[in-house]
Structure 1
Amino acid sequence: MPDQDETLLLHLNDAIATSRDKDSLFKVVTTKLRLIFPFDLIGISVFDAELKNKRLFLRDYYGTEESDLALPAGNNYFTPIAGSPLEKLVANPQVRQIALSDYLADYPDYEPFVRMQQLLITQLTAVPLRTGGRLIGALFLAARHSPNLTPADERLLEKIGALVAVAVANTLAFEEVARREQERTLQLNINNALLSIKQREPLFRAVAEELSRVVPFEYFGIRVQRAGQEKEFQAFAELLRPAPGAPLEALSLDRDQAEILADKSTIYQQNTELLQTAAIYSGPEFKALAVRYPRLRYVYEHYHTRALLVVPIWQRPDGAAILTLSAARPDAFRPQDLATVVGLVPQIALALENLFAFEQIQELKAQVEQERTYLVNEINSSARFGADSGAFVGNSPALQQTQLRIRQVAPTDTTVLISGETGTGKELVARELHNASPRHARALIKLNCAALPAQLIESELFGHEKGAFTGAVERRIGKFELANGGSIFLDEIGELPLDLQAKLLRVLQEKEFERLGGTRVLRSDARVIAATNRVLADEVAAGRFRADLYYRLNVFPIQLAPLRERREDIEPLLRHFVQRLSKRLGKPSRQVHPADLAALRAYSWPGNIRELEHVLEQAIIVSQGPFLEFAGFAAAPATSGAADATVSGTAPLKTMREQERDHILTALHRTGGRVSGAHGAALLLDINPKTLEARMKKLGIRRTVGVEA
């Protein structure tokens, strides 16, 4: 039937010339073919350029339900030609009739042929598809009965094969154009996301959603190893699609899962194949990886992952980054999917760099804001402190020795332990050390270890994450993190609880710590300056202070002399404070009566310089005549005789314990027995209320004024 054959060829040629849609095109092809060649199943496979791999391009069937056929639908992944019946056709590409039973003898495990035999299909006609002299695929017509093709039929099928080959080539070309257009759209959308989104999770959620329109996956992850992480990769972005069609969600793991998925073994070490080359691992390859690595074994078993697409983003001396996609279907990823993701690597690398920079800027901005707030509070709360405090006024040998020690150690990063009684100026020495050091451009951060409950000191020192404990409604930066690059002054270090002493020791030795409720290891290059009014060696002997921490703190001790050992500095201090306080209080500058000066010199000053300042401030406020009036001051006797007796030394000397006890009792009498609060003895003596209570207990002083224990 030559005319019918020519008509068929013309119809096919017209359909190929006018159709651009794959489904409509091959519907015409199959309909026209069945007019001449009865068949029950038609299929088209295409080959790669090297004739090494094949993929099913089209399949159609007649008279059989798809569920009964149970053959793979047209797909976009390649499988090897070697080991399949198509290797015979590739070796000798010509029209041939195939008895299914013959091929099953050579390929008994080839599942499509097994299913065909179950459906009573006995014969296949194979037609090679060539275009431009190159083999690009094969057309298969399957039937339950032998078609009994004549030589003329075979020649016609060759002509039909040539037309179908053109149609396949055109369709593949259109698909490639569409894929490239899709990739350009993907890159444009990702660029728009990079320009408009600055937060980590929203940015990579947008990137992953756009990528999922081109590449199907259930898991999207980026892991990064940066300098200082000791080869450990951190999850930078992890998103999971809980169900087909559902939006991607941030991966949420319980503690046990997180431990497994952290996988600190070798999966992401610098020498593994996963960091070397972009690749797809599926089927047996992925199973082999799952046997080797706990992380992959976990997702293999719990998420039924069967395919992994891995693309290194960068690998360099300061770290590495890797992108992974995974899916449950072994055939989920195609070579062109890998090429698509590889093409996105420059954009993703830029996004990572920008995010690192942005997050670092945000952290530095937060730190600067914290420092600014801290320093403003320091200025407001320490307005009377600084060069005008009087701690360095005078010329006594003890003061000169202190100044020498400061000059010696200030240029170094050595840890300093300042010891001395309350009111001797320990904080001012710490400030002087910091200001004279190379760290003076950064903040000196202060923490009084006795001013806070034990349960809050750790949060103050190391910070906490949001939700770390009841009341932690936001993340807080700790003092060590705030002092990075500067100095941290730990006042009353002897009051630090034993459990926190161990954590402080770690910071001193390794410069590492974690925020409360956090897992990220932070580093702080802060110089530690500690101060105490206790004898730490005695505290160590009593088991109240760790010996290792004491020796780590006591690298360079500075011992401050009490004011009673600097009596030659009392008069210069008087002049200094009278001038400054009179100006601040808006009072005229008055002289000190010689008798009062003698009494002030003779007094033991258990509160040291701070007590002297407070006594003078009170005198300036109440004085009316030409001299300062010290009425009510226990150290200033009412008569010069008493002063003379004190100065001459005829009166019996009291012990330091008695002097301190008398001084505290005087303060309690003035405050009506009140210890803390705005009108308490602690404020008058300028010491911490808890410290005062401890001293009272030690000296046998009860809260009821004047009644001994």
Structure 2
Amino acid sequence: MRKLKHALHPMPTTDETLLLHLNEAIATIRDKDQLFKVVTTKLRLIFPFDLIGINVFDETLQYKRLFLRDYYGADEAPALPDGLEQFSPVAGTPLEVLVADPRVRQFTPREYMANYPNYAPYNKFEKLGVTHLTAVPLHLGGRLAGFLTLASRRNPNLTPADEKLLEKIGSLIAVAVTNTLAFEEVARREQERSLQLNITNALLSIKQREPLFRAVAGALSQVVRFDYFGLRVQRAGRQEPFEGFAEFSRSGDGPDAPLLALDPNRQNGLNQLDTSAMYQQLNDLLKVPGLYAADDFRAQAQRYPLLRHVYEEYGTRAMLIVPIWQRADGAAVLMLASPNPTAFRREDLATVVALAPQIALALENLFAFEQIEELKAQVEQERTYLVDEINTSARFGDNSGTFIGNSPALQLVERRIGLVAPTDTTVLISGETGTGKELVARELHNASPRHARALIKLNCAALPAQLIESELFGHEKGAFTGAVERRIGKFELANGGSIFLDEIGELPLDLQAKLLRVLQEREFERLGGTKVLHSDARVIAATNRVLADEVAAGRFRADLYYRLNVFPIELAPLRERREDVEPLLRHFIQRLSKRLGKPIRQVRPTDLAALQAYGWPGNIRELEHVLEQAIIVSQGTFLEFAGFAGSPLMLAATAAPSARLAAAPIKTLREQERDHILVALQHTGGRVSGAQGAALLLDINPKTLEARMKKLGIRRTVGVEG
């Protein structure tokens, strides 16, 4: 038709006029759809065609993207395959032939696809009745920017003049397409900046993991369409990572559709897998941003178990991976997935990469909030614990004075404390009751780098076996009858500080195994809980038993003994360092007289000699209690020791000279302990427990005293032996 017009009415300016009108029509258009509508309408007035498409290239001419497409007879012609709106390689497609020789060309589909019989976007041309194709290069400033393709069901019979005109039209369209793309990019970047600001403002105020997880997913859904959202953060020193996976509901096709099946810690079936090991295998892939789809994703799924799992279980066919951070103290990665292999474009990857700093900032802010809350909770727990300790000390007094004296045995202990205190090594303190094991533990803690945190104490013999586990590891609400609220255990409380386990030899065998796990793995669970907790607590244990003998007797685990006995410190009994009795005596007189509001009285030389000669089965604790009683009952210039039951002077024959004392037969430790308990029972009228009982006088647990009485054959009735 157009050739007939040229023949009858030759007009040299017709092409120029047509180009001018077309240029005026598209020069100010910035909307892609409107531009395509104008181009299609104007071209169809000049050239017959049934399908039209515009492909644009990147600057390297290695990647193509279908910018626009349209066809008449939509009911007759099925849509072209999905995925053409994202950049894909030019290599392996018929377009590489056009790129190699960019000029206006006419050919049939069979000619066009001669070397590409399996090229999906064009293999249905013959079924659609397309018989002719016309390819028009889009040049901009001498650079090939894309191709305009016209397809028709009949021969358009284009002349060289028509091809020349199409070449000029192609240049105009190239300018319009480039301008439209530029405005799209400006709009995208503006939207991206606005989104970054909105994300920053919204996320920085969120202090809980699940709301943050939802907020990040919701914000990303405004710019990228996805079906599954994943976020994983692994931080140094944190054995348990923060993981989140959720299905993104598209019900209602709204950008703010809710997340489904959300559980921010290992969900959607992944909790049955060792995801940490899977992520370790996937490490190289997570270090750089990537878009994996269709065959590429299938290949990665064959290589990596985690991707194979989501490929098989969720039908995932495309995944977008963006590292949030990758550094020495940990890593964070965000993943978007879809069962649609063409769900993501390279622009989507660039958008998420641009938002990564805001997400990183939100995560850091969240972890800072969590750390503050953890520290606040720990400080409050330590405060409560220390208040209890202060109240206990105020009621019962302390045992200070262990390091009063200059005996070789004491100097050896001080040297060993100085050697091990700066380390995190586990220490086992052994010695008889009353030798000052707790004060050695306190000195170890105070001289260590952990001195700013609490020293948490637990007497393993002071509680029934069923309560010791709760004390050590804590319990959840409802874990057992009477557990009306969650309780923080001693190991959790001691995190960052030290824990002192006194009378460790009394620990039941089943709990010994659990304690061994804490020493080996630094992890435990609360009673009734499933979450693995971690404790960086330095363990100091103490015992008045010979644990090697307990191991041989089968009452103590050998593996636990070797874990505890890394650095032993043995405290000598007071009878083996008699030279320390006098300085200890003067120290206690000063301190106790002041506390009791009594004048400071002197000790007679004969009494001092008798005190030094006494065997002290209760060691320093017994010396302190004897002096406290003497200070209370004494009225004159000197302290009186003979006027009350249990006086060591009565036991040591006060009036006798030292030689006579030394010549007296030496009793065994069992006999000394038995005599000492009998004296205490006489002093309390046979009462074992309570405020006036022998257990308080001897400073041991009533149940422990009863067990020892049974072992030594002592009945509750004073003076009646079993």
TM range (shorter): 0.7 to 0.9
Residues 472-483 of structure 1 aligned to structure 2 (within 5 Å): 476=488, 478-479=490-491, 482=494
Q: Equivalent residue of 2:409, what SS?
A: helix
Aligned partners of 1:494 and 1:545 also within 8 Å: yes
Residue number in structure 1 paired with 2:412: 404
Residue number in structure 2 paired with 1:78: 87
Residue number in structure 2 paired with 1:26: 36
Q: What is the identity, as a one-letter code, of the residue corresponding to 1:258?
A: N
Q: CA deviation at 1:400?
A: 4.6
Q: Does the C-alpha gap of structure 1 residues 593 and 223 become closer, same or farther in structure 2, counting only changes over 3 Å?
A: same
Moved more, 14-23 or 585-594: 585-594
Q: Equivalent residue of 1:545, what SS?
A: coil
Residue number in structure 1 paired with 2:435: 424
Residue number in structure 2 paired with 1:498: 509
Residues 341-356 of structure 1 aligned to structure 2 (within 5 Å): 341-346=352-357
Q: What is the identity, as a one-letter code, of the residue corresponding to 2:31?
A: D
Residues 176-215 of structure 1 aligned to structure 2 (within 5 Å): 176-193=185-202, 196-197=205-206, 202-203=211-212, 205-215=214-224
Residue number in structure 1 paired with 2:118: 109
In the alignment, which of 519, 533, 539 is matched to residue 544 of structure 2? 533
Q: What is the identity, as a one-letter code, of the residue corresponding to 1:635?
A: G
Equivalent-residue separation in structure 2 for 1:475 and 1:284 (angstroms): 53
Q: What is the identity, as a one-letter code, of the residue corresponding to 2:591?
A: R
Q: Does the C-alpha gap of structure 1 residues 144 and 201 become closer, same or farther in structure 2, counting only changes over 3 Å?
A: same
1:688 matched to 2:701: yes
Equivalent-residue separation in structure 1 for 2:485 and 2:155 (angstroms): 79
Q: Tell me the alpha carbon deviations over residues 555-581 of structure 1, each in whole angstroms, 9 at most, x when there is no partner.
A: 554444445666776676566545533
Q: What is the identity, as a one-letter code, of the residue corresponding to 2:547?
A: L
Residue number in structure 2 paired with 1:310: 321
Q: What is the identity, as a one-letter code, of the residue corresponding to 2:36?
A: F
- Unaligned 5+ segments in structure 1 are none
Residues 134-213 of structure 1 aligned to structure 2 (within 5 Å): 134-149=143-158, 153-193=162-202, 196-197=205-206, 202-203=211-212, 205-213=214-222
Q: Tell me the alpha carbon deviations over residues 515-542 of structure 1, each in whole angstroms, 9 at most, x when there is no partner.
A: 545776847373x433212222221221
Q: Equivalent residue of 1:82, what SS?
A: coil
Q: What is the identity, as a one-letter code, of the residue corresponding to 2:246?
A: L
In the alignment, which of 194, 219, 244 is matched to residue 238 of structure 1? 244
Moved more, 171-180 or 47-56: 47-56
Q: Does the C-alpha gap of structure 1 residues 140 and 558 become closer, same or farther in structure 2, counting only changes over 3 Å?
A: closer
Residues 363-442 of structure 1 aligned to structure 2 (within 5 Å): 367=378, 370-383=381-394, 389-392=400-403, 399-412=407-420, 413=423, 415-435=426-446
Q: Tell me the alpha carbon deviations over residues 442-500 of structure 1, each in whole angstroms, 9 at most, x when there is no partner.
A: 54432222234445545655x5697795659668474377363x544321111123344
Equivalent-residue separation in structure 2 for 1:218 and 1:627 (angstroms): 89
Equivalent-residue separation in structure 1 for 2:158 and 2:651 (angstroms): 141
Q: Does the C-alpha gap of structure 1 residues 253 and 455 become closer, same or farther in structure 2, counting only changes over 3 Å?
A: farther
In the alignment, which of 263, 281, 295 is matched to residue 306 of structure 2? 295
1:46 matched to 2:56: yes
Q: CA deviation at 1:175?
A: 0.9
Aligned partners of 2:290 and 2:322 also within 8 Å: yes
Q: CA deviation at 1:409?
A: 3.6
Q: Does the C-alpha gap of structure 1 residues 614 and 42 become closer, same or farther in structure 2, counting only changes over 3 Å?
A: same
Q: Does the C-alpha gap of structure 1 residues 677 and 42 become closer, same or farther in structure 2, counting only changes over 3 Å?
A: farther
Q: Does the C-alpha gap of structure 1 residues 286 and 673 become closer, same or farther in structure 2, counting only changes over 3 Å?
A: farther
1:339 matched to 2:339: no
Q: Equivalent residue of 1:583, what SS?
A: helix
Q: Equivalent residue of 2:188, what SS?
A: helix
Q: CA deviation at 1:625?
A: 8.3
Q: Does the C-alpha gap of structure 1 residues 252 and 319 become closer, same or farther in structure 2, counting only changes over 3 Å?
A: closer
Q: Does the C-alpha gap of structure 1 residues 241 and 514 become closer, same or farther in structure 2, counting only changes over 3 Å?
A: same
Q: Does the C-alpha gap of structure 1 residues 418 and 351 become closer, same or farther in structure 2, counting only changes over 3 Å?
A: same
In the alignment, which of 460, 480, 488 is matched to residue 449 of structure 1? 460
Q: What is the identity, as a one-letter code, of the residue corresponding to 1:110?
A: Y
Q: CA deviation at 1:278?
A: 3.2
Q: Equivalent residue of 1:424, what SS?
A: coil
Equivalent-residue separation in structure 2 for 1:119 and 1:640 (angstroms): 118
Q: Equivalent residue of 1:44, what SS?
A: strand
Q: Equivalent residue of 1:539, what SS?
A: helix
Q: Tell me the alpha carbon deviations over residues 140-196 of structure 1, each in whole angstroms, 9 at most, x when there is no partner.
A: 333444444455655554454344333322211211111221222233334435654
1:279 matched to 2:290: yes
Q: Tell me the alpha carbon deviations over residues 233-255 of structure 1, each in whole angstroms, 9 at most, x when there is no partner.
A: x6445343432353344545369
Aligned partners of 2:503 and 2:541 also within 8 Å: yes
Q: Does the C-alpha gap of structure 1 residues 453 and 97 become closer, same or farther in structure 2, counting only changes over 3 Å?
A: farther
Equivalent-residue separation in structure 1 for 2:112 and 2:300 (angstroms): 35
Q: What TM-score do the two structures reach when normalised by structure 2?
A: 0.79
Equivalent-residue separation in structure 2 for 1:416 and 1:220 (angstroms): 48
Q: CA deviation at 1:124?
A: 3.6
Moved more, 685-694 or 550-559: 550-559
1:699 matched to 2:709: no
Moved more, 415-424 or 297-306: 415-424
Q: Tell me the alpha carbon deviations over residues 269-309 of structure 1, each in whole angstroms, 9 at most, x when there is no partner.
A: 76x3543x433222222211111111111111112222233
Equivalent-residue separation in structure 1 for 2:122 and 2:686 (angstroms): 102
Q: Equivalent residue of 1:340, what SS?
A: helix
Q: Does the C-alpha gap of structure 1 residues 627 and 135 become closer, same or farther in structure 2, counting only changes over 3 Å?
A: closer
How large is the Cα RMSD of the aligned pairs? 4.6
Q: Does the C-alpha gap of structure 1 residues 703 and 209 become closer, same or farther in structure 2, counting only changes over 3 Å?
A: farther
Q: Equivalent residue of 2:182, what SS?
A: helix
Q: CA deviation at 1:327?
A: 3.0
Q: What is the identity, as a one-letter code, of the residue corresponding to 1:692?
A: L
Aligned partners of 2:491 and 2:537 also within 8 Å: no
Q: What is the identity, as a one-letter code, of the residue corresponding to 2:558?
A: A
Equivalent-residue separation in structure 1 for 2:535 and 2:347 (angstroms): 43
Equivalent-residue separation in structure 2 for 1:697 and 1:52 (angstroms): 92
Moved more, 176-185 or 515-524: 515-524
Q: Does the C-alpha gap of structure 1 residues 625 and 214 become closer, same or farther in structure 2, counting only changes over 3 Å?
A: same
Q: Equivalent residue of 1:284, what SS?
A: helix
Moved more, 159-168 or 472-481: 472-481
Q: Does the C-alpha gap of structure 1 residues 284 and 108 become closer, same or farther in structure 2, counting only changes over 3 Å?
A: same
